[in-house]
Amino acid sequence: MLSNSNNLSKLYLSVIEDVIENMRELILDEGLEDRVLEVLKQLWESKVMQSNAVDGLALVKNTINSSNFVLQLPPNYGQNFTKPTASMVNPAGQNVQSFTTKNNGGTLATFSLPPGVTYPVQIPAGVTLQTASGQLYKVNVPVMVTQAPAGQCPLPPSQLQPRQRVPVVERRDLCSTSLQPAPVVPSTVPKTMAPLKTEPFTPRPVACPNAVPQTTEQKPLIPLVPLRDEKPVVPQPAVQPTVQGNHVLQSEAPPVQAPFSLHTQMSFQPPYQPPLYKSESPFDSGHFTLDGIDFDSPKPIDMSLTSASTQMQSLQVKMETVLPDGSAFGASKVAAEETVRQEGHGGTADMSTHLEGLPLDASKLEMALLKDYNYNDALADIIQLDGPSDSSSDVEEFEEEMGGAIGENDFLGMMTAEALQALQEAEESSDDGKSSSGDDSVGMDEVTVEEDPLNSGDDVSEQDVPDLFDTNNVIVCQYDKIHRSKNRWKFYLKDGVMCYGGKDYVFSKAVGEAEW
C-alpha cells in the first residue's frame, strides 16, 4: 500500500494547496494578512500528520535532483572511506539507488542522492546501506531524509554522542510508519536528516533550500523519543492557546466540583440533625404530659439530651445488628432516619409501660424515655407509617408478653445492664410473636424488589442505536446505485474516502455486497 499511501498523501497535499490558494484572494479581500493562511496551513498539515491516518506522509516539497546528505555514524563506525558508493532501497519504488559517500571525518559519511530521487527520501527500518568498499550500515529505525537550509554546519560530534549510539545499537519498537524520528542526525551543508513530522513544508520546491525554517537545525538535538512524545514539541504556537484553554478549563473544574462536594456533605447532615433538634423542641416548650404524669423540668434534661440522642443512635445501630430481619415495627432498610422514626414510634407505648414499672429514682432514664416519647411522637406526626410498621397492635402484644419489659425498638438514653438484658429478652420473645408481621414486611420488600427488574425489562433498549452508529470506521462517498434483492444488497459507490483501522483510503469506485 505504499504507492497508495504516497498517492493519498499527494492527494491530500494537493487539496490543501488548492484550498489555501483559493482562499488567498478572499483573505486579502478581508484585509487579513497572508500569514494567517500560512498558520492555517501549518495547523492543518500538522493535524493530518498527527492523526497518522496516512502512512508515510511523504510530502514531496523539494524537487532538487542532486543533493547530498550526511549520514552521521557513531564513533565505533568511524572508518575512512574514500568516495564509496552505497546502494539503498528507495521505498518510493526505485529499487536500487546509487549513493556516493564521502567521509569528512571519522564519524561522518556523506551520501549523495542520484538524480531523479527527490527529497524527502524515506528509508524504512531494516534497510542496509552498503558502500562500495563493502561496509554495511543497517538502519534499524525508519529514517526520513529531508532537506535543510543551506549554510548549516555539521553538528560537532560531542553534541551528537548521546544519539550516536542510538541508530545502530538500539532497536526501537515504534510503529511501522515512517513518521519516526531519525536515529542519526546529520546536518551538513544542504541537507539534514530529521524527523519528518517536525518539518514544515513549503509550497514551492525551487525556493526551498533557503526557505526551510531553521527549526530543522534544532531537530537533531531533539533526543529520540517515541512519536507521541514529540507531538507537544512541534506545534507549540498552536498548542499554547489550547493549553491555556485547558488550564482555564481545569481551573474551572475545581470550583464546579467544590459545590458538589459541599452539597453532598450537606445532604448527609440533615438526616442526622432532626433527632437532636426535634427532640429538643418538646422540651423547649417546657411542659408535656405522659399518661397523666407531668414533667416540667427542661433544664436538667438538656444536659442529657444530646448524649441521649447520640446514645439512641448508637443503640439503634446495635439493635439493627441484633435484629437483622427488621423490628416488629417493620424497620425499613433504606434510611437511618426512617428506622429511627419507626423504632422510636414503636417504643412510645413501651416506654409508657416501662415507666410505670421502673423505679422513679432513675430520673435521667425517665427523662430520656420521655424525650424519646416526644421525639417519636413528633416524628410520627410527620411520617405516615404503613401497615407493617403500624405499632398499635404490636404494642398490645408487647404488653401482654413482656409485662412491662422494654420493647425491642426502644431507644434508651442510658443503657444499663438490666436494660440490655431486658432488650435481649424482648428480642427473643418478639421474634416469635412478630414473625408474621416481619414476614409481611419482608414480603413487601421482596415484592418491590421483584417488580423493579420486571418493569425494567419493558424498556426498549435504546442504547444500541447510538452505539451502533458511533464508530470510527467510516466511509464517506457517493452512490451510483443501491440494489436489493430480498435480503441481498449490492452497493455501487464512487468517489469515496474511507477511514478504517485508523488509516485513510480513497477510491474512485467501490462495489460491495452484503446480506442483511
Q: Interface residues with other proteins (CB under 8 A)? A: 1, 4, 7, 11-12, 14-16, 18-19, 22-23, 26-27, 30, 32, 36, 39-40, 43-44, 47-48, 51, 53-54, 238, 241-242, 245, 468-469, 471, 473-480, 482, 489, 491, 493-501, 504-516
φ, ψ dihedrals at 123, nearest 5°: -120, 100
CB closer to other proteins, 460 vs 476: 476
CB closer to other proteins, 287 vs 481: 481
CA distance 235 to 486: 53
Q: How far is the CB of 64 from other proteins (least distance, A)?
A: 24
Tallying the residues shown for the chain, one arrives at 516
Residue 68, strand partner residues: 112
Cα angle value 330/335/338 (rounded, 5°): 50
Q: How far is the CB of 65 from other proteins (least distance, A)?
A: 25
Cell numbers representing residue 311 in the block: 446514645
C-beta neighbour count of 29 within 10 angstroms: 8
Q: How far is the CB of 45 from other proteins (least distance, A)?
A: 8
CB closer to other proteins, 277 vs 500: 500
Q: How far is the CB of 56 from other proteins (least distance, A)?
A: 15
CB closer to other proteins, 269 vs 463: 463
CB closer to other proteins, 242 vs 314: 242
| In 236-300, beta strands by DSSP E | 288-290, 293-295
Cell numbers representing residue 409 in the block: 425498638
Sequence-distant (6+) residues with CB within 8 A of 290 are 352, 355, 370, 373
Cα distances (angstroms) measured from residue 290 to each of 348, 395, 397: 10, 16, 21
Please give the full DSSP string across 29-53, using - where no structure is assigned.
HHT--HHHHHHHHHHHHHHHHHTT-
Q: How far is the CB of 20 from other proteins (least distance, A)?
A: 9
CB closer to other proteins, 366 vs 504: 504
Residue 143, strand partner residues: 123
Nearest to 108 by CA among 56, 157, 49, 35: 157
CB closer to other proteins, 171 vs 490: 490
CB closer to other proteins, 81 vs 507: 507
| In 164-233, beta strands by DSSP E | 191-193
Q: 301: helix, coil or strand?
A: helix
Helices (H), 97-207: 157-169
Q: How far is the CB of 54 from other proteins (least distance, A)?
A: 8
DSSP 203: S
Q: How far is the CB of 472 from other proteins (least distance, A)?
A: 9
Q: How far is the CB of 55 from other proteins (least distance, A)?
A: 12
361-392: b or e for each residue (b if 16 or more CB lie within 10 Å)?
Answer: ebebbbbbbbbbbbbbbbbbeeeebeebbbbe
CB closer to other proteins, 336 vs 497: 497
Q: How far is the CB of 491 from other proteins (least distance, A)?
A: 7
CB closer to other proteins, 262 vs 514: 514
Judge whether 478 and 496 are in contact, CB under 8 Å.
yes
CB closer to other proteins, 442 vs 506: 506
Judge whether 211 and 147 are in contact, CB under 8 Å.
no
In which element (H, E) is residue 431 found? helix 417-433
Please give the full DSSP string across 308-355, using - where no structure is assigned.
HHHHHHHHHHHHHHH-TT--TT---SS-HHHHHHHHHHHHHHHHHHHH
Q: How far is the CB of 322 from other proteins (least distance, A)?
A: 56
Q: How far is the CB of 250 from other proteins (least distance, A)?
A: 17
φ, ψ dihedrals at 373, nearest 5°: -60, -50
CB closer to other proteins, 148 vs 234: 234
